[in-house]
Copies of this chain bind each other. A is one copy, B any other.
């Protein structure tokens, strides 16, 4: 089944959504965009883009251990959602909950991570709220503005469109694998995980793309969600090795995992996956290259709703829905997850 509801995560979100009336001035339906798109009264040409993300499970599970990473990703996650709708950022507000006994240097680390991420993007923290509690919870709510005419959501790709990714993938999986698979310490150091929201690229892409979504949950989850939303398939005909982050590829080789598994972790790298219709390919690539940006053309949109990867030189369908649900079913146990991935590939 290729419906949204096949995926546990979508179903969980829907149990909340069904209680709420939808704003009549909201452009996107649920699941349809990385950021919510809202009409602004008396402004016929622009939309407000707003998104909220909490970083807490990444901390409680031990995936992020340094406060700098926690602060950095809180900021990047918010702006990455804005990037995926092509928004010009206005800023971010943050809500910070910490245990009462956290040291000043720990708090400083979070603040420095947030501040460095803002500087890297040329954006600002506008305000915030602080609380104490029994766990670390960092929430960022980013806002921006999108021209109505060039709005970009997860919907709109058609068979024949080319599929792109904005940069190398797999650093999110690499960090997850290093932390949880008990392979060896620091195979992929946390300090190397410094994803950068593709804000400028998003604003460029919106002039050409038929759909766009960020890879905050990993490449495979992103392609799966786009498949369900658009009722199309994706043939990823570039070998995963060729668009993996070098450190992620090296790690896969070291631990003897197939390269595609570095796209299957539910912890991504905040790149953008987007599709470009044939007639826009040349102008898009010319413009992108003029900006010294080389996105990877990784495949094409096909009619049949399935996701195919080039595995050992052959295009093979992967049951991406089962992969996404598996992560919830194994409750985060990485050994069980990798075993499960192997089984999915064998039985598909």
Residues of A within 8 A of B (CB): 12-13, 15-16, 19-23, 26, 30, 35-36, 38, 40-41, 43, 48, 50-54, 56-57, 60, 88, 90-91, 93-97, 104, 107-108, 111-112, 114-115, 118-119, 124-135, 137, 139, 141, 143, 145
Contacts and interface: CB of A to CB of B under 8 A. Distances in A.
Contacts of A131: 54, 56-57, 137
Contact of A50 (B20, B93, B97): B93
Nearest to A35: B127
Given A48-B90, A53-B95, A56-B137, 19 more contacts: A12-B130, A19-B108, A19-B115, A20-B111, A21-B124, A23-B91, A30-B127, A36-B126, A43-B43, A50-B127, A50-B141, A52-B93, A52-B95, A52-B129, A54-B95, A57-B131, A131-B137, A137-B137, A139-B141
Contact of A133 (B15, B40, B60, B94): B60
Number of copies: 2
Contacts of A13: 130
A321 to B, nearest CB: 20
B139 A91 contact: no
Nearest to A12: B130
A118 B20 contact: yes
A56 B114 contact: no
A306 B51 CA distance: 42
